[in-house]
Chains A and B, each alone.
Chain A
Amino acid sequence: MDNVQIMTGNTAAAIAAKLCNIQVVAAYPITPQTSLTETLSQFIESGELKAEYVRVESEHSALTVCISASTVGARVFTSTSSHGLLYMHEQLHWAAGSRLPIVMCCVNRGVGAPWSIFNDQQDSVAQRDTGWIQIYCRDNQEILDSVIQAYRIAEEVYAPVMVCYDGFVLSHTMMPVSIPDQKAVNSFLPPYKPHTVLSVENPYNINPVIFPWLRENAEGIICDGYMEMRYKLQKALDCAREVIVATGKKYAKLTGRNYDEMLWRYKTDDAQIILTGMGSIAMEATAAVDQLRKDGVKAGVAGIRVFRPFPVNDVRKAFSKAQTIIVLEKDISYGYEGALCSDIKAALYGTGINVPVHNFIAGLGGRDVKVREIFEAVQQSLQEIAAGKESNKTIWLNCRK
Chain B
Amino acid sequence: MKNRDKNISAMSTPAIAEGGKTGDWRDMRPVIDQKKCIPSIKGKAACYLCWLYCPEGVVKAAIPVKIDLDYCKGCGICAEECPAQAITMIKEVDDNG
Contact = CB atoms under 8 A, between A and B. Distances in A.
Do the two chains belong together in a single complex? yes
Interface of A: 97-99, 158, 195-196, 203-211, 215-224, 229, 232, 236
6 contacts: A98-B9, A206-B11, A208-B12, A217-B15, A229-B9, A232-B8
Given A211-B20, A215-B19, A205 B12 contact: yes
Determine the main DSSP class of A at the interface with B: loop
A209 B18 CA distance: 11
B4 interface: yes
B14 to A, nearest CB: 6
Nearest to B16: A218
A-B pairs with lowest CB-CB distance, top 6:
A215-B20, A218-B15, A223-B5, A208-B12, A218-B17, A221-B3
Interface of B (DSSP majority class): loop
Give the interface residue-count category, chain B. Answer: 10 to 19
Contacts of B10: 206-208, 210, 223-224, 229
Contacts of B14: 203, 205
B1 interface: yes
Interface of B: 1-5, 7-20
B11 A221 contact: no
A365 B16 CA distance: 55
A158 B8 CA distance: 9
B9 to A, nearest CB: 5
A216 B16 CA distance: 12
Contacts of A224: 4-5, 7, 10
Given A98-B9, A206-B10, A222 B1 contact: yes
Nearest to A220: B3
Nearest to A205: B12
A110 B4 CA distance: 45
A223 B10 CA distance: 8
B9 A217 contact: no
Given A215-B20, A216-B17, 7 more contacts: A205-B11, A205-B12, A217-B12, A217-B17, A218-B18, A222-B2, A224-B7
A376 to B, nearest CB: 50
Contacts of A210: 10
